[in-house]
Amino acid sequence: MKPGIHPDYHPVVYRDRTADFAFLTRSTATSDKTIEWSDGNTYPVIDVDLSSASHPFWTGRQRLVDTAERVEKFRTKYARVQGGKNPS
C-alpha cells in the first residue's frame, strides 16, 4: 500500500446490546469507548442497533417500531385541501 493515503485499519469490536452479542473485526471506524476482549487485549467498541443476532430476518422475530408518527407525517404531507383541490 502507498503510505500516507489510506485510513488507519485496526481491530474493532461491534456490540449489539439488545442481543448481548459482540464480534471482533477490522475496520476504519473509531470510538472513545473500549472493551477488554476474551484474548486479554483492549479494543475500541462500537454499539450498533441491529446485528445478525437481533435482526428480524435472521431471528424470525418482529421488532416493535413506532409507526404512528410516520403515519401522521404521511397524512400531514399528503393531506387533501378542502374542496377537493390538490395544491401543485
Q: Is residue 15 part of a domain?
A: yes
| Rounded Cα gap, residues 49 and 45, in angstroms | 13
pLDDT single digits (tens) 46-78: 998 877 777 665 556 665 556 667 777 778 888
| Rounded Cα gap, residues 7 and 68, in angstroms | 41
Q: Is residue 83 part of a domain?
A: no
Of 10 and 73, the one with more pLDDT? 10
Q: Is residue 73 part of a domain?
A: yes
Q: Is residue 28 part of a domain?
A: yes
Q: Is residue 2 part of a domain?
A: no
Q: Is residue 88 part of a domain?
A: no
What is the model's pLDDT at position 77? 82
Q: Is residue 84 part of a domain?
A: no
Q: pLDDT tier at 86 (50, 70, 90 boundaries)? A: low
pLDDT single digits (tens) 12-51: 999 988 788 899 999 999 899 999 999 999 999 999 887 7
Q: Is residue 40 part of a domain?
A: yes
**pTM, full prediction:** 0.58
Distances (CA, A) of 1 to 5, 29, 59, 87, 88: 9, 19, 40, 57, 54
Domains: count for the chain: 1
